[in-house]
Amino acid sequence: MSSPALNPLYWFLLACSDDLKREEKIQVLKVAKETVGSLEEFVDQNFPGLPSELGRKVEAALNNASFSLLFQGLSSQGIKVLALADPAYPSRLKATLKSRAPLVILLLGEAELLRSDRTLAIIGSRRASEEGLKIAQRAGAYFGGEGYVVVSGMAKGIDREAVAGALGAGGRAIGVLPFGLMSQKDIVPLLRSFQEDLMGRRLALISEFSPKVGWKAWAAMARNRTIVGLADAVLVVESGLKESEGPQGRKQKSGTWSAVEEARRLGKMVFVVDLPREGNQELIQKGLAVPVSADEGGFQRLEDRIHEGLREKLGEAKGLPRKVQDKGEVVQVPLFPGEEPT
């Protein structure tokens, strides 16, 4: 007897539940895999092996009529649901974040971009200088033109300019949003600005949040791990200091610094444009990012470093040294599919 087919509705309802903690959701998936092999079979068999109280909470989540109706309306809006068990779910994200990967990703636009061979996150301040904005656009245009998919948070400022640069150069981009794809106040301005790129399969907008959730500061921080998880490396164009004074004298942590720290935890390469900005210089002085110049030569050197770093990781994954011997000659480990050894 064959196992039930993947049911995105179950995953969507589990992910959207506010009554279940993240740890409980992970526990449900772990028990499901260990007992019957899949979430779908687990639901069909009434949660075997799950503690009764947790089972009741899961049942309540799966019977949530409001979210069930919301799910039914997603396809009419062109929104796809990618569950963690779905083959279309980005393998790079799953491999990088492991148990921290979002249970569900909602997607508007081109799904194939999530499986791109080369990606670069270009990030920075919302309140960037004119110089920073121009550099972001140039960086986006350069790497987009070189075949990299540019990943960003789509916030105004550096993120948005980098995406505009990539798309303007005929490149492609992924926007990782800190709100739901049906949050009218937040999504409509983006759709107006990037409709042609979405229709032209050059842009993918994704969200790990419930469809109608609006922008929240905690969500903006939380999605940083997804931005970093989708990228081979991170380029910071312009940043403020790690902490600044916000309204009523409260300390505010920089989202850019949060992304850099996440990238470091995940073993990603981090670069920063060598601008005379306090945040940029502090990232360099603390050894958190490698400085690069803001010209084409700097971008080329950055690309070489990315290529070199990925070769090392690929060699390690295959149990090979960085360079391998072939008939007495030193050859580079191929990096991209179809690439010949050099």
Phi, psi for residue 188 in degrees, rounded to 5: -60, -45
Q: Are 101 and 94 in contact (CB under 8 A)?
A: yes
Confidence of residue 32 (pLDDT cuts 50, 70, 90): very high
Tokens of 189: 């301005």
Q: Could you tell me the pLDDT band of residue 315, with boundaries at 50, 70 and 90?
A: low
> Residue 339's pLDDT is what?
42
Residue pLDDT, tens place only, 65-117: 999 999 999 999 999 999 999 999 999 999 999 999 999 999 999 999 999 99
Q: How many CB atoms sit inside 10 A of residue 315's CB?
A: 17
DSSP 96-158: HHGGGS-SEEEEEE-GGGGG-S-EEEEE--TT--HHHHHHHHHHHHHHHHTTPEEEE---TTH
For 164-192, write each residue's pLDDT tens digit.
Answer: 999 999 999 999 999 999 999 999 999 99
What is the rounded average pLDDT of the residues 15-38?
96
pTM: 0.89
Mean pLDDT for the stretch of residues 48-64: 95
Angle of helix 158-168 relative to helix 130-145, nearest 10 degrees, comes to 40
Which residue type does 179 have?
F
